[in-house]
Structure 1
Amino acid sequence: MSQSSKIVHMTTVHHPYDTRIYHKECVSLKKAGYDVTLMAPIDEQNDSQDEQNKVEIIPLKKYANRWKRMLFGPIQAYKKAKKVKADIYHFHDPELIFIGWLLKKKNNTVIYDVHEDYYTSIMQKEYFPKPIKRIIGKLYNGIERLLIKKMALCLAEKYYFERYQRGTCILNYPILNEKLINQEIDRSKVSDKLLYTGNVSVERGAFYHAEIPQIMDKHVYLVGKCSSDLAEQMKVHAGDKRDYLHFDGIDRFVEREEIDHYYSNENWIAGLAIFPATDHYLKKELTKFFEYMSAGLPIICSNFSRWQAFIDQHQCGITVNPDNTQEWLDAVEYLKNNPIEAEAMGYNGRKAVLQELSWKSQESKLMAWYEQLLNK
């Protein structure tokens, strides 16, 4: 690996300090000696460089309107990226596929980092009528297949191989936080609080989680970006228990350090992921699973077959039927009333993260892959 190898990561969608893009990939590459630049939507006064990790950040204009962002964001990203002349361009959003195609030359590498199953995501968008979704889905499939032929693929999920049949898996395992790994949880003094971390949306079980206080008189903390409109709808859904819902992240991105603070400063009953059954999430191993495990929290999640197999393999939680609220209640009461078993689930999860499911394993894969691409 050449110390002068120039790497540019690009996003028009994600926050500049997104955990996968910034804290995992960019920081790891910078520490390995690469010259790393990140292009991301950011306020001009906060641009330039992160002083701790020395990752240069080139600001892109932020657009409040989705359609303006999709139209104008890639244009400005292309203009700025072209000036850098990088050895590797690594982009993170499907709206940048055409820009990645334009940037690809004989003497460089372009990586498409696939964070989601975008086709399935399109097909479950509620704001598109079904005929329109089918047209957009087919159009996206055709354009994607055509434009990524000469790109390298970075896959955030194992099952994306089913769609692409090629690529390198760099999974979203957690960065080990020594404070979280070493903290002891006294299950005999567990609180009446449940934790959910990550973006809050209807597809991610927003209304299921909002229903919990009505069912079992427990407080639910939701730490992650949530629109103010959705937060208010969830409070209405909670009825007279609306004050049992606690939001940190309304209309804003929640930094990694803030989320870790929540993990380490409360004796939570469990980490939540009670999602409705949608094609988009049936096969995913959620990043929050690994984070809950790292913090020693038992998981309560939907009993999708993939999730059930994961929980069974690591013995780190309880699965429930997302449409059977009695099972939710039974799971929470079991963890409250059986502290030894709950502690064992937390221990098992943390052990799995330490042994095999941490970012350290993926970091070494990322470094080896980059070196291979540059040597090629």
Structure 2
Amino acid sequence: MNVCHVTSVHPPLDVRIFHKECRTLAHAGHDVTLLAQAEWREKVVDGIRIIGLPMITKHYQRPRVWRCIAQKVSKLKPEIVHFHDPELLLVIPFLRPAKLIYDCQEATPETVLVRRWIPRLLRNPVSQLVAFLEPRLARWTDAIVVTEDGHVDRFRKGGKPVVLLYNYPLLSHLDFRRQSDGKTIIHVGVLSEARGSTTMIEAMNWVVRRVPAAKLLLVGPFDSPADELEVRQLIAAHNLESAVEVVGWVPFTDLPKWLAKADVGLVPWQTKEKLPPQIIPTKMFEYMASRLPVVASSRSTIRRFMDNLNCGLLVEPGDSQGLADAITYLLTHPGEARAMGARGRSAVEEAYNWETEGSKLVALYRQLA
């Protein structure tokens, strides 16, 4: 079947869109094309045709990308269009007559409340507008894919199939031999105050006093220039330049190399007021798949897994001293840390992996066909 994945926001090699969904569908025998903002006009990667959309830098330029999407979909004439951004609900009429799948990857109304680029006074009214419009516009699709349990009820009233595909890791991608030194902590993913970037730096100020050789790897992009400035100033203020390495964004294919160096994985998310409460952190499962013990905030979506699996330690959101204590305990009790890591890997092998979730995506396409 000729299918087209579309994103107006995400990069062309986005982990969920390209490496998980598109490659799963291609492996199942579908002819897959991906439209995404890119510097190139067209290329083929792993058998998937990627067509570049205009690169933009300002939010007000997005309608230009929407227009280009409509034109390219009209020329491609796919049987299914699978789109990944809520703003594309506005161009549904221009994506027909293909069958349409809306892939909702986040709690959009709640996410609006923490977007720094939206003026603070506008965040509440915009969030309310999105909460009203998103499920109503989604009724005009043929199916909806969501990443978390909390999203299901928002869309189910529309009467269209709602498929829950957790963003679990690819098992094969994270099966490697550890090369750690016993003193390395890692955080993978976007860095922001809401995700605990400053809490980690404050915690490291305590950790290095008890484990002088400890080192924190920050692997991932900053959410904003303000977040980066805040982190770098805090590192300098505590003289932690030798204890904290700001690695930045790395390609998906390089992630195992960094995880292999680590001994502990961090998920120091803040309170639900600062980050939508429904979010399930993908990085938690990536650490588990990498046989790393996890130190995470005691949020409900994290506790529901950690309490049962005994694969790490929980701390209160924003508690830098508690985070430091948990990190120090695992670095100084390597036997327990290895046992927690092994339990995490077993859980991912048994249930929390993309290979299982991908089969549900293939079944949805079969149903729509």
TM-score, length of structure 1 as denominator length:
0.89
Q: Determine which of 81, 85, 101 is the counterpart of 1:111.
A: 101
* Paired position in structure 1 for 2:220: 224
Helix, strand or coil at the partner of 2:329: helix
Q: 2:54 aligns with which of 43, 50, 61?
A: 61
Letter of the 1:167 counterpart? V
1:29 aligns with 2:25: yes
Answer yes or no: is 1:183 the counterpart of 2:182.
Answer: no
What is the 5 A alignment of 1:57-136? 57-68=50-61, 70-105=62-97, 108-129=98-119, 131-136=121-126
Paired residues for 1:295-306 under 5 Å: 295-306=290-301
- Distance in 1, matches of 2:287 and 2:15, equals 15
Q: Which amino acid aligns with 2:51?
A: I
Deviations 1:180-208 (A, max 9, x none): 4352577xx512x2101112222222211
Note the C-alpha offset of 1:231. Answer: 2.3
Instruction: After TM superposition, give the deviation of residue 145 of structure 1 in Å.
Output: 3.0
8 A Cα contact 1:42 1:62, kept in partner: yes
Q: Which of these residues, 223, 230, 233, is aligned with residue 230 of structure 2?
A: 233
Q: Specify the SS of the correspondent of 2:219.
A: strand
Out of 173, 179, 185, the residue aligned to residue 194 of structure 1 is: 185
SS of residue paired to 1:200: coil
- Equivalent in the alignment of 2:199: 208
Partner of 1:271: 265
Q: Give 1:324's aligned residue.
A: 319
Conserved? CA contact 2:220–2:250, under 8 Å: yes
Q: What is the letter of the counterpart of residue 373 of structure 1?
A: L
Aligned residue runs from structure 1 range 302-313, under 5 A: 302-313=297-308
CA contact (8 A) 1:235 1:245 kept: no
- Tell me the distance in 2 between the aligned counterparts of 1:206 and 1:72: 34
Quick one: distance in 2 between partners of 1:84 and 1:316?
47
Q: In the alignment, which residue of structure 2 is the partner of 1:292? A: 287
Q: 2:244 aligned with 1:254, yes or no?
A: no
User: Alpha carbons of 1:287 and 1:155: their partners in 2 closer, same or farther (altered >3 Å)?
Assistant: same
Q: Is contact 1:101-1:148 (8 Å) kept?
A: no
Instruction: Name the SS for the 1:297 alignment partner.
Output: coil
Which one-letter code corresponds to 1:269 in the other structure? D
Instruction: Work out the CA distance in 2 between the residues paired with 1:184 and 1:146.
Output: 48
Q: Residues of 2 paired with 1:334 and 1:242: CA distance?
A: 20
- State the secondary structure of the residue aligned to 1:44: coil
The count of residues paired between Structure 1 and Structure 2 equals 355
Distance 1:42 1:347, change over 3 A: same
- Structure 1, unmatched stretches of 5+, are none
Which piece of structure 1 moves more, 291-300 or 137-146?
137-146
Match of 2:211 in 1: none
**In the aligned structure 1, how far is the partner of 2:60 from the partner of 2:240?**
34
Amino acid at match of 1:358: N
Aligned to 1:241, what secondary structure does the other structure show? coil
Please state how far the C-alpha of 1:269 moved relative to its aligned partner.
Answer: 3.0
CA distance 1:347–1:302, shift in 2 (3 Å):
same
| Offset at residue 329 of structure 1 (A) | 1.9
Q: Which runs of 5 or more residues in structure 2 are unaligned?
A: 209-213
Q: Distance in 2 between matches of 1:281 and 1:145?
A: 18
SS at match of 2:221: strand
Q: Distance in 2 between matches of 1:128 and 1:23?
A: 30
Q: Deviations over 1:277-318 (max 9, x none)?
A: 135442322110110001000111111123122101111111
Aligned-partner SS, 2:175: helix
Q: 1:120 Cα deviation (Å)?
A: 0.4
The 1:308/1:142 distance shift into structure 2, 3 A limit, reads closer
2:139 alignment partner in structure 1: 149
- In 2, are the aligned partners of 1:236 and 1:242 still within 8 Å (CA)? no
Q: Could you say if the C-alpha distance between residues 319 and 185 of structure 1 is closer, same or farther in structure 2, counting changes exceeding 3 Å?
A: farther
Q: Match for 1:324: what amino acid? A: D
TM-score, length-scaled by structure 2: 0.90
Following superposition, the deviation at residue 130 of structure 1 comes to 5.0
In structure 1, distance between residues paired with 2:172 and 2:225: 31
